[in-house]
Amino acid sequence: GTQVTVEVHPKDSAPQLFKKLSFGKGPRRLPSLTGQDNKGFQRTEALRPPGGKDLHAYPWDKSSLKSMPVDLQQFEKLDAYALKVNVKNSVEELVKALLKQARTDLEKVRAIWMWICHHIEYDVVGYHDKSQLSSRPIDVLQTGKSICEGYAGLFEQMCSIAGIQCMKLSGYSKGYGYKMGQTFTGDSDHAWNAVYLDGRWHLLDSTWGSGAVDDSFTKFTFRYNEFYFLTHPALFINNHFPDNSNWQLLKPTVTLKDFESNMLHNSNFYMLGLLTAHPETAVIRTVNGKASVSVDCRSATLFTFKLKGTDEHGLMTLKKHGMKLDVYPQKTGSHKLQIFAKPSKASEGVYNCVLEYVVECESVDKAMRFPKDLHQPVGPSWFTERQGFLRPSHPDPVIHTNDGRCSVTFTLGKDINVLASLHSDNSSLTEDMRRRHIMQIHRGNQIELKIHLPHAGNFVLKIYAKKKSDPGNYDYIFNYLITCLNTEVKWPAFPQSYSKWVEDYEILEPLSGLLPANRNVQFKLKMHGIAKVLVQAENAYPLTQSRGYWEGTCNTSGCREVFVMVHENANHSFYSHVLKYEVESQ
């Protein structure tokens, strides 16, 4: 006396499956086919195809990574419990064990999700040899491995036992083996699920939630990925394109052509709090030898990049909410550009790849060859502010100078010593001379770095710092690129200073460390707390003090070097050297 209804549906519509099978008043469970009394069977709510109230706006509104509010901390106990459940004899028994700690539908789905992501591994052998493979839920459970079809099938069956509406979906994916900009044709290549919670459909992918295969597709590693649990549909579409576009759960839906050309953001991109990247297409063509990329993010993030495996041919600057990058490939053709990021707090953490582009270079800009010593990112940023370099006079990463001179100022945080040096590919500056082409001037908490370039070209100004109270070494903080095209430029170094030259002393003249021969040279120095100042050439010339400056003249005849010496107090009989100038040869 049992009635059986069989329905046949086209492949791409949602079948009206049973949601639950209930036994009148008794406990709800699936009937086993071994002589269970089926009289009490009744049909309950049928699977509803996705409709208006399931849809999310596209493009992403940057609100949340998930399609419903989820508090992961509330799941901590349930997650830990689900991981420990160890039932392999039947899917029903496994679900029964998992549901002991789950009350709401969301908790039931979470327990099933956690269990599958941590217990089923991707079957790389079965993927290559389909005869070795079964996607039947019980086989997946007992062997502990499968491919996406098996993950999605097991998920669907476990939900159905738990009384949760669930669909197995199939379509195209940008997963293993995906090449940027490729087209998709033929059969679908991936499977995932939709679950019905709180009156709406939601998407998840337990295959990608469980881990990853290596590049050679021979080894699977469990690496749990929270991103693919109830992913916001406007983000899920980034790498999942369902056969039936209704299951995008988007308004408007995305076309296959857009799916193919859209930039692939992997889950790291969103998990690090990044929001958008420009351009939004995977292939960038250079304009006059340059290609530009920018990323927006929620909070301060550190970035690096590799163009064909090196970061030499670009300028990356950090912004408060993101970064900007200009690359200048030095060869024509196709170049792979990868962008990496990590949270600013993770000083030791690893950089994760968040974006990949292909840069098509049609012409090379030879002028944009950067010195080898240039370090990314370039220029000041929120990061340098944190290190105590505030209010930079030059917020941009590149400083152009026509006469070979420039001056950079900052307000310094408390207790900071600064060291700066100048580097270039085509000059043979010694360690000492790299510093002598920069003069530090301190006024209160302001520091000015005066720079005189020894010749034209591209230079790196590297800035290091340490706490005054620290005995240790200086730490590298950041760098600028300084460019000068004027080939007439040839500035001598500043005079050499000794340890008795105090931080807030200042040279007004002569600034050049190379004095003309046989001339009278005017000296004007700002120094405090000393009794006498002498300029020692062939003869000694005392300077006189007026209004905080020591002034006077010295004659450079008959000597190769000129020293400035000070008497620190009137009772001392000896002078200390503070500055040394060279004199041009006759």
Is residue 115 in a domain? yes
Q: Which residue has the higher pLDDT, 206 or 2?
A: 206
- Domain of 288 in residue numbering reads as 271-361
Residue at which a domain ends, from 464, 494, 524: 494
List pLDDT tens digits, range 109-135. Answer: 999 999 999 999 999 999 999 888 899
Calculate the average pLDDT of the chain. 90
The CA-atom distances, in angstroms, between 98 and each of 107, 115, 162 are: 10, 8, 10
> Quick one: 233 and 198 in the same domain?
yes
Residue 89 neighbours by CB under 8 Å, 6+ apart: none
Is residue 32 in a domain? no
Q: Are the C-beta atoms of 522 and 439 separated by less than 8 Å?
A: no
> Quick one: 503 and 488 in the same domain?
no
Q: In terms of DSSP bridges, do strands 438-443 and 475-484 run parallel, antiparallel, or are they unpaired? A: unpaired
List pLDDT tens digits, range 171-200. Answer: 999 998 888 888 999 999 999 999 999 999
CATH of the domain at 83: 3.10.620.30
The per-residue b/e assignment along 530-560, b for 16 or more CB within 10 angstroms, e otherwise, is: bebbbbbbeeebebebeeeebbbebbbeebe
List pLDDT tens digits, range 299-340. Answer: 889 999 999 999 989 999 999 999 999 999 999 999 999 999
> Quick one: 487 and 508 in the same domain?
no
Tell me what pLDDT residue 251 has: 95
Is residue 448 in a domain? yes
What's the rounded mean pLDDT across residues 558-585?
Answer: 88
Does residue 166 have a pLDDT over 60? Answer: yes
Q: Tokens in use for 404?
A: 């070979």
> Quick one: 215 and 320 in the same domain?
no
Is residue 419 in a domain? yes
Q: Pick the catalytic residue: 79, 123, 205, 326? A: 205
Tell me what pLDDT residue 27 has: 38
Is residue 282 in a domain? yes
- Quickly list DSSP for 106-131: HHHHHHHHHHHHHH-EE-HHHHH-GG
Assess whether 190 carries a catalytic annotation: yes
Is residue 489 in a domain? yes
Does residue 5 have a pLDDT over 80? Answer: no
Does residue 24 have a pLDDT over 70? Answer: no
Residues 5-11: contacts with CB under 8 Å, at least 24 apart: 5/43, 11/243
Tell me what pLDDT residue 29 has: 41
Is residue 34 in a domain? no
The percent of residues above 90 in pLDDT, for the chain, comes to 76
Tell me what pLDDT residue 573 has: 73
Assess whether 202 carries a catalytic annotation: no
Q: Pick the catalytic residue: 119, 190, 202, 452? A: 190
Tell me what pLDDT residue 45 has: 54
CA distance 467 to 560: 38
Does residue 355 have a pLDDT over 70? Answer: yes
What's the rounded mean pLDDT across residues 573-585?
Answer: 90
Residue 15 neighbours by CB under 8 Å, 6+ apart: 7, 9, 47
Q: Which of 521, 527, 519, 477 is nearest to 500 (CA)?
A: 527
> Quick one: 484 and 502 in the same domain?
no
Tell me what pLDDT residue 367 has: 85
Confidence of residue 1 (pLDDT cuts 50, 70, 90): low
Does residue 435 have a pLDDT over 50? Answer: yes
Residue at which a domain ends, from 459, 494, 529: 494
Bond into 69 cis (ω within 30)? no
Tell me what pLDDT residue 4 has: 81
> Quick one: 477 and 561 in the same domain?
no
Task: Determine the distance from the C-alpha atom of residue 586 to the mean position of all C-alpha atoms in its chain, rounded to a whole number.
Answer: 57
> Quick one: 400 and 339 in the same domain?
no
What's the rounded mean pLDDT across residues 363-382?
Answer: 93
CATH of the domain at 503: 2.60.40
Is residue 263 in a domain? no
Residue 518 neighbours by CB under 8 Å, 6+ apart: 555, 556, 557, 586
Instruction: Give the total number of structural domains in the chain.
Output: 4
List pLDDT tens digits, range 449-484. Answer: 999 999 999 999 999 999 988 888 999 999 999 999
List pLDDT tens digits, range 205-257. Answer: 999 999 999 988 999 999 999 999 999 999 999 999 999 999 999 999 999 99
Q: In terms of DSSP bridges, do strands 220-222 and 211-213 run parallel, antiparallel, or are they unpaired? A: antiparallel
List pLDDT tens digits, range 491-501. Answer: 999 999 998 89
What's the rounded mean pLDDT across residues 427-434?
Answer: 82
Does residue 345 have a pLDDT over 60? Answer: yes
Residue type, 581: Y
Residue at which a domain ends, from 470, 494, 518: 494
Assess whether 577 carries a catalytic annotation: no
Confidence of residue 38 (pLDDT cuts 50, 70, 90): very low
What's the rounded mean pLDDT across residues 342-351?
Answer: 83
CATH of the domain at 288: 2.60.40.10
Phi and psi at residue 49, in whole multiples of 5°? -65, 155
> Quick one: 102 and 217 in the same domain?
yes
> Quick one: 215 and 114 in the same domain?
yes
Residue 371 neighbours by CB under 8 Å, 6+ apart: 423, 424, 425, 458, 459, 460, 481
Phi and psi at residue 15, in whole multiples of 5°? -70, 150
Tell me what pLDDT residue 406 has: 97
Q: Are the C-beta atoms of 224 and 117 separated by less than 8 Å?
A: yes
Tell me what pLDDT residue 430 has: 84
> Quick one: 112 and 243 in the same domain?
yes
> Quick one: 275 and 385 in the same domain?
no
> Quick one: 501 and 447 in the same domain?
no
Tell me what pLDDT residue 72 has: 95
What's the rounded mean pLDDT across residues 423-437?
Answer: 86
List pLDDT tens digits, range 540-557. Answer: 999 999 888 999 999 999
Phi and psi at residue 536, in whole multiples of 5°? -100, 105
| Cα separation of the two ends of the chain | 123
The percent of residues above 70 in pLDDT, for the chain, comes to 93
Predicted TM-score of the model (pTM): 0.80
Residue where the block lists tokens 């620190």 = 568
